[in-house]
Amino acid sequence: MNDPINVSLGERVISNDPNDILVAYGLGSCLGISMVEPTRRWCGMIHCVLPQRNNGTEVDSPKFVDSGIEGLLKEMVKRGCDPHRLVIRMAGGANMLLASGVSTTFDIGTRNIESALNTFQRLGLNLKAKEVGGNLGRTVRLYVADARMTVRILNGKELEL
């Protein structure tokens, strides 16, 4: 097994090396979105920070949910993956200030989730599984070897998504 590959804020990582594990550590309001093409074994993950790109700039940037999904899809297709066979999963989008009563106006988590669902619909993509919302941070792992995606919360076990 290789060392886990950190999919850091605003990054996209794609791999077909069965020894690779892609990890997004401590997702709060951010979203970890993964795409897997079962026949070709390509696995990709993005770590998105904000719901929407700024007016058309930063095309395909993984920093934003909408451009991030478009960019990941493009890269998967470029590698010969069939968009209709993609297994798509996502986790994150927590409202970290939910319990505090400080403010709901900054609920970026919920807006990230909405943006992702809209983008999937617009692009005709099917979401297979999600573990989103709430007010707890999550670490997400994608195992290239068997395409397993797991979610773990603080002091919790790794649970398969």
For other proteins, give the closer residue by CB, 106 or 123. 106
Residues that bind other proteins (CB under 8 A): 8-10, 25-30, 49-50, 63, 94, 96-97, 99-103, 106, 108, 135-139, 154-155
Cβ 6 to other proteins shortest distance, Å: 8
Dist CA 80 CA 144 (whole Å): 17
Cβ 20 to other proteins shortest distance, Å: 19
Cβ 25 to other proteins shortest distance, Å: 4
Quick count: other Cβ atoms within 10 Å of Cβ 54? 10
**Strands 159-160, 148-153: pairing kind:** antiparallel
For other proteins, give the closer residue by CB, 42 or 62. 62
* b/e code 110-132 from CB counts within 10 Å (16+ = b): bbbbebbeebbeeeebeeeebbb
